[in-house]
A and B are shown apart, each in its own frame.
Chain A
Amino acid sequence: MGVIALDRLEVRLGGRTVLNGLTGELRGHAIGLLGPNGAGKSTLINTLLGFHEPSGGNAKVLGLDARTDRMRIRQSVGYMPENDSFIGNMSGVRFVRYMAELAGLPPAAALERAHEALFYVGLGEVRYRKISTYSLGMKQLIKLAQALAHGPRLLILDEPTNGLDPTARQRMIQLIKEVRKEGSMHMLISSHLLRDIDETCDEVLILNKGRVAAISNIEEERRSHRNFIEMEMSGSTEEFAQKMRAMGCECACFAGGRVKVVMPDALSARDLYVTAAGTGTEIRRIQQRRDSLEDIFLRAMEYEGDRVGDSRQQVFAAGVES
């Protein structure tokens, strides 16, 4: 049973078709949701939460139908919205308690879990002050605390690191990783920051203009054995590239001395150095790169609609020839 299952999901808002035939199944522990502005990420999240009625097709969250089982979905979900969303007149504890009780916890348990959640996200004495007096970082944390307090099965985070300073951002990422490690919750994280998604997620859904641009399992990509090497070289790289190709590698040169090579298993990094010495070039920087999320994302934007994965080699070859 997938965490999120989409079947030709179509959502129309105000006469426009915002989500146009989304299909796919996401099973990951932490799912990233990516896409440019206007791609439909927020609409998708709102549809899953039951705020929008699908005009066609179907969406399922944790096996529950988004059209008919709205209340049960909302029962199992913790939502951290992107925008400021709180009741300014209440203290932090009161707010988290209120939300926990609305999620079904009895009052005594709600108070206890509220304090636990606040402790876990790191809000100390601040929790007794009115939320309207909080800084931006604290407001983000209070949203996270209320999403966690009732122990949901799916945590939906919309731009969790929005507006946070570097330290706070690190802390938020750390929290997300810890929650993921704990294992009892699935997560759906929507963000613009590829690095955040890369660090925390194991599967991504990339949307573009209301369609699925890519579904990719980053975890698998990471584990797959690739001799994909990225280098920075000085000197003329053309000759080097020719020699490498002669040895059976795929090699592409870019501006600024950057070279990307895919080597067959027989060769090793030492061969690169030997070839470089032979052609009078120097390797300044060398690293083994598995396909980073950035590559996947950019490729998805160009080749919209294709499934990434097996087509990668073709795509890479196409890139090499260009």
Chain B
Amino acid sequence: MSVFLHEYRPYTGSTTPLWNRPLVLARYAFKEAWASKITTILFVAALLPCVVEMVMIYLAANPVARTLILRGSPVLTINESFFLNVLETQCWFALVMAAWIAPRLVSFDLGDNALPILLSHPISRFSYVLGKFLALALSLSYVTWLPVIVLFVYQCYASPESWAMAHLGLAFGILVGSLLWIIVLALVGLAVSAWVKWRVIATGAMFAVVFVPAGVGGIANAILRTKWGLLLNVPVIMTEIWQRLLGAPAFMNPRLELPSAAMGVMLLLASLLCIAVLNARIRAREVVRG
């Protein structure tokens, strides 16, 4: 055959299973999120405290260092409170990262009306959100439980075996605490990004969504002379939950302590609200009306 006419030819190969499609979405979303330099910068910034903490663990385990540097002071004890602080720091970094990444995941799709084409492929609205969620969750994992578990493992290695045995529950606490925060953060991030059109505003809105209700809760507390306003205070709720998961000593004024169940319900409600918002926004944009 001398002349090759490259005409359209049908596809005769194999297709991937349906459950694989959200993973395709997740893969591309992940690449999109990390294509930005700022993401990398935030990531590096988030790991810096971990480096400091690693040094602290080293010093705490090294008797020579302890005597030399700290002259036996109890400042550098590696216990639940220590890990609580570590987790808290990392999770706040996660907030910043989510505020930056989540808009990148969603706004590019919405900006040029890609949803009709996207959803004309065999993925449902749920799969679409799931894919984005997985990408975001993985990115946030890189700065939350992954480095903290690494620190924990290092601590187990550096300290005598009895410590590891006694504090095994910490690992569980770190994991669950982080995952809880990741889920809430990812859902809020995606919902806010789907709601607001411009990425910069979406980033600001993320912070607003976390901190404004806290202010409102505080006012409610003061006016109504109650403690239930604290339920709107996300920083406080999360710290409480982490503290209870890690078994760290309570830091709150006992009068202001909230039952775990209430906090759990609050988070669940927030998540459901986000899911509802996402559903509404995607439904609104999946078909061009008029």
Contacts and interface: CB of A to CB of B under 8 A. Distances in A.
Interface in B1-31: 6-16, 18, 20-21, 24-25, 28
Interface stretch (B87-95, B109-117, B164-172, B206-214): B109-117
A187 B6 CA distance: 21
Nearest to A97: B28
Contacts of B257: none
Interface stretch (A78-86, A280-288, A297-305): A78-86
A102 B10 contact: no
A182 B117 contact: no
A102 B123 contact: yes
Contact of A81 (B116, B121, B122): B116
B16 A105 contact: yes
A184 B10 contact: yes
B286 interface: yes
A52 interface: yes
Interface in B68-106: none
A89 B118 contact: no
A5 interface: no
Interface string A118-132: 011000000000011
Contacts of A81: 116-117, 120, 288
A71 B13 contact: no
A317 interface: no
A72 B116 CA distance: 17
A178 interface: yes
B287 interface: yes
Contact of B287 (A51, A77, A184): A51
Most buried by A among B11, B28, B108: B11
Interface string B249-281: 000000000000000000000000000000000
A186 interface: no
A143 B117 contact: yes
B62 interface: no
Contacts of A264: none
B121 A87 contact: no
A232 interface: no
Contacts of A148: 8
Interface in A161-214: 178-179, 182, 184-185
A74 B8 contact: no
Contact of A101 (B24, B109, B113, B120): B24
A103 B112 contact: no
Given A102-B25, A150-B11, A179-B8, A46 B287 contact: yes
A106 interface: yes
B109 A185 contact: no
Given A81-B288, A103-B121, A120 B6 contact: yes
A72 to B, nearest CB: 8
A101 B16 CA distance: 8
Contacts of B118: 99, 102
Given A75-B122, A102-B21, A146-B117, A89 B7 contact: no
Most buried by B among A77, A81, A119, A132: A81
Contacts of B25: 102
B226 interface: no
B119 interface: yes
Contact of A86 (B7, B13, B117): B117
A99 B121 contact: yes
Given A98-B28, A102-B25, A120-B8, A87 B288 contact: no
Given A81-B288, A85-B117, 12 more contacts: A42-B288, A88-B108, A90-B108, A98-B24, A102-B21, A102-B24, A102-B25, A102-B118, A104-B16, A109-B13, A151-B9, A184-B8
26 contacts: A49-B120, A51-B286, A74-B120, A74-B121, A79-B116, A79-B117, A81-B117, A84-B113, A85-B116, A86-B114, A87-B114, A88-B111, A88-B112, A90-B108, A99-B118, A99-B121, A101-B16, A102-B25, A103-B15, A105-B15, A109-B13, A113-B11, A150-B11, A178-B8, A182-B7, A184-B10
